[in-house]
Amino acid sequence: MSSATSAPPECPGAGLSPGGGTLARTGRRKLREELTTPATTTATDCPKCAPAAPLSDIEAQRAVRHVPTAVAVAYATGLVEFVSCVDCPACGAWVPQFIET
């Protein structure tokens, strides 16, 4: 009896290039800054309301690799806004999520 194992899902950040021109680099730099900067505190001491801790520089680098060039350009020009991160099912890195502004 052979055991069939499914291949792990392909990481969406695996084939992305960190290049893409000045605007893409600006967007990635801006996002990396946002990911590593501590959020401003809230007026309450409630642990549920406290902002999440910033990512380490390495975590932010891994997260930024998951951002396609077009999204990095849109972020640099203010067409999209960063809202959160989710786990990449393939590599476990954070994957930034955006909404249109």
Please state the pTM of the whole predicted model: 0.77
Those residues with Cβ within 8 angstroms of residue 14's Cβ, 6 or more apart along the chain or in another chain:
90, 91
| Packing angle, helices 22-36 and 69-76, rounded to 10 | 80
Residues 4-13 have pLDDT tens digits of 555 556 776 6
Those residues with Cβ within 8 angstroms of residue 87's Cβ, 6 or more apart along the chain or in another chain:
93, 94, 95
Residues 11-39 have pLDDT tens digits of 766 655 566 789 999 999 999 999 999 87
What is the rounded average pLDDT for all residues in the chain? Answer: 84
Contact 101, 75 (CB under 8 A): no
